[in-house]
Chains A and B, each alone.
Chain A
Amino acid sequence: MGHPEAAEKFIANDERMHWHDKALWFVREKRDLAAHGIPEWEELRRVAKQIKTHVMSKLDVYLEEFEENAKEKGIHVHWAKDAKEHNEIVLKLLLNRGAKKLVKSKSMLTEECHLNPYLEENGIDVVDTDLGERIVQLREEAPSHIVLPAIHLKKEDVGTTFEHFLKTEKGNSDPTYLTRSARVHLRKKFLNADASLTGVNFGIAETGGIVVCTNEGNADLGASLAKLHIASMGIEKIIPKIKDLAVFTRLLSRSATGQPITSYTSHFHAPVEGGEMHIIIVDNGRSKILGSQDFKQSLNCIRCGACLNTCPIYRRSGGHSYGYTIPGPIGSTLGPSKDLSANKTLPFACTLCASCSNVCPIKIDLHHQLYKYRQHVVNAGLLATKKHTILKVAAWVMKHPSLLDFGGKIARKIVPIMPRSILYSSANIWGKKRELPKFPKNSFKELYKQHKEGKK
């Protein structure tokens, strides 16, 4: 199913669609307030882009520096060329320590690798501990947003989910009550876990450590209790120096949720006492994107989610309609980079309004990338036949001015007198939620000509 078909299901509930739209716009407005409070905001974005561009020019050097420094600090480093190898390494590390119970904090990379089902098949009890992720895990859904995993759900949905799984009071959907219930439920999981897995926000080449940002404290709680800490990191998460974090921490949470900083910004540079810390460096198709002039900037992403919150299509179609691990504008370029055919409709889930590029803290040229990917889809022969034919006919007509004039003349006469039942029939997809403007008597060309003659 492509994005339009999946989105149709989402927008079928008009009230909820508008609610979703507003909820995300609220986050976008908070981002604006936070950004405007920093006079040097644009300079920060410029510098962040420069740092990332610099890193991508010598990623191999920085990754090796990172590994060397991590090892010096007693951290084990593993390399995984793809999702399969990543998952196998995680399982092996767990089995080596006899670990059966794993608590996880947010990691879109492990979603991308489909780690949870793989571990579950192999007898591991996996618990996502971020509240939003736990909610979607219990409902057997995927996160619909990279920062706000359960943004598609109303509190009543969460209430019924918890009623079923956590035996909370019937009909109680108070967010504080539900959060407290989840706290009690997950506290037990933390205390009984054999191992923890976290994502990585930044890997510092200079020090060989990683930084994880959370509000709930779940990454730290997991990693500080269990003796085994595994961190999964995409190759693009590397930054050169610890001081670079000043730039990225100032940008990240302000762009994400409008907070000045996350509650916890944790710098892991050692295992806990008597424990082990492992970092898995994962490629899974990323290094190929480095070689694409048009799409390489997508690797600069720090996963703040600002482009999702601002996107008129994302807000009105929901994260699940994208059918890719990462939804929204950034997912609509990463998806096709991963598999063009499977994600061929994503570059079209875009109005080319460029709002995503304007809010991106790293100034990624997102809307340009989506425009370019449309051309890739067409060139690969992947555009739907109907759409392709319509575009071909339109191009042909536009190349013949007299034909276009004639067509326009007929349309201006006929359309105004056509009955609504025909004009807004099911064939007119455009007219589903829109009204045609009033047709003028004359075309622009005719008016221009008259105006010019009148002047003489």
Chain B
Amino acid sequence: MSSKETILNSIRENTITSTIKLPETNIPHISYENKNEKYAAALASVGGNAVWLEDGDINAFVAEHYKDTEVIASTCKEFTNETIDANKPNTPHALENVDLAVIKAQFAVAENGAVWVKNPENRHRALYFLAKQLLIIVDKNAIVDTMHEAYEQIEFNKSGYGLFISGPSKTADIEQSLVIGAHGPTDACILFV
């Protein structure tokens, strides 16, 4: 008997719980009067910052706020001043020295400061984690209240990779002292346009 059969048989033999209906997961939930304000506060609490860009000029924003940044990669069409093409190298290791990655997120979640990032056109996932700084571009109208609405918009019918990012990478493994910048980016800015 294969291990699969052994395990499944053992489960079948041992199961004593009678089946109950799978509950509705989209329960009535909190909604925020001012989603932008809540989002900015939640993001600040996890070490990130949110900016609303009035004129929509991402190139100008980057030029102003990331002055001494050398290596810039982008997966965002609205930003055109990248210094390297992140999709060009055949291995992600080539992205090791990226100083700033400008990436797109599909929407933001007010309750926890996260953004949903799923960009099938981005060749190397490692970009999100190798870059020293992240600038994430989100449509200013795409903020939901909670994870319930977030998951209404997420599907994986096809293979792929997607993630929620909430602020920069961090750790508190040494004496519970929060240190921003663990293995991934040390800085994360969410730019609403």
**Partner-B contacts on A (CB < 8 A):** 23, 26-27, 38-40, 43-44, 47, 50-51, 53-54, 56-60, 63-64, 67, 73-75, 79-81, 85, 129-132, 135, 148-151, 153-155, 158, 175-176, 178-180, 183, 186-187, 190-191, 204, 207, 209, 215-218, 220-221, 223-225, 235, 240-247, 249-250, 257, 259-270, 272-273, 281, 283, 287-291, 293, 296
Chain B residues 154 to 184 lying within 8 A of chain A, measured CB to CB, are 154-177, 179, 181-184
Q: Is the CB of B96 within 8 A of A175?
A: no
Q: Is the CB of A267 within 8 A of B159?
A: no
Chain B residues 27 to 43 lying within 8 A of chain A, measured CB to CB, are 27-30, 42
Q: Which of B14-22, B58-66, B67-75 contacts A (4 or more CB under 8 A)?
A: B14-22
Q: Is the interface of B mostly helix, strand, loop or mixed?
A: loop
Chain B hits for A204, CB < 8 A = 156
**Partner-A contacts on B (CB < 8 A):** 2-4, 6-8, 10-30, 42, 45-46, 92-93, 96, 109, 111-114, 123-126, 128-130, 146-148, 150-152, 154-177, 179, 181-185
Q: Is the CB of B14 within 8 A of A260?
A: no
Q: Which of A64, A175, A281, A290 contacts B177 (CB 8 A)?
A: A175
3 nearest A-B residue pairs (beta carbon): A217-B184, A291-B14, A260-B112
Q: Which of B29, B166, B167, B182 has the largest number of chain A CB atoms within 10 A?
A: B182
Number of A-B contacts (CB under 8 A): 271
- Given that A135-B173, A209-B156, A249-B147 are known contacts, is A235 also in contact with B11, CB under 8 Å in the complex? yes
Q: Which of B42, B151, B171, B177 has the largest number of chain A CB atoms within 10 A?
A: B171
Q: Which of B17, B23, B151, B161 contacts A51 (CB 8 A)?
A: B23
Chain B hits for A67, CB < 8 A = 4
- Given that A225-B126, A267-B163 are known contacts, is A246 also in contact with B151, CB under 8 Å in the complex? yes
Q: Is the CB of A273 within 8 A of B171?
A: no
Q: Is the CB of A57 within 8 A of B20?
A: yes
Separation of A59 and B123 alpha carbons in the complex (Å): 35
Chain A nearest CB from B35 CB (Å) reads 14
Q: Which of B124, B125, B151 contacts A242 (CB 8 A)?
A: B151
Chain B hits for A54, CB < 8 A = 19-23
Q: Is the CB of B11 within 8 A of A179?
A: no
Chain A hits for B113, CB < 8 A = 260-261
Q: Is the CB of A216 within 8 A of B171?
A: yes
Chain B hits for A209, CB < 8 A = 156
- Given that A264-B165, A293-B16 are known contacts, is A79 also in contact with B174, CB under 8 Å in the complex? no
Closest to A259 in B: B46
Q: Which of A204, A223, A261 has the largest number of chain B CB atoms within 10 A?
A: A261
Separation of A132 and B26 alpha carbons in the complex (Å): 35
Separation of A80 and B112 alpha carbons in the complex (Å): 37
Separation of A178 and B11 alpha carbons in the complex (Å): 46
Q: Which of B12, B26, B159 contacts A246 (CB 8 A)?
A: B26
Q: Is the CB of A268 within 8 A of B161?
A: yes
Given contacts A40-B30, A56-B15, A81-B3, 18 further A-B contacts (CB under 8 A): A50-B22, A50-B23, A51-B23, A67-B4, A79-B3, A155-B175, A175-B174, A176-B177, A183-B183, A186-B183, A191-B96, A217-B182, A220-B125, A243-B151, A260-B112, A264-B163, A269-B156, A290-B11
Q: Is the CB of B151 within 8 A of A296?
A: no
Q: Which of B24, B161, B168, B181 has the largest number of chain A CB atoms within 10 A?
A: B161
Q: Is the CB of A225 within 8 A of B93?
A: yes
Q: Which of A44, A64, A150 contacts B173 (CB 8 A)?
A: A150
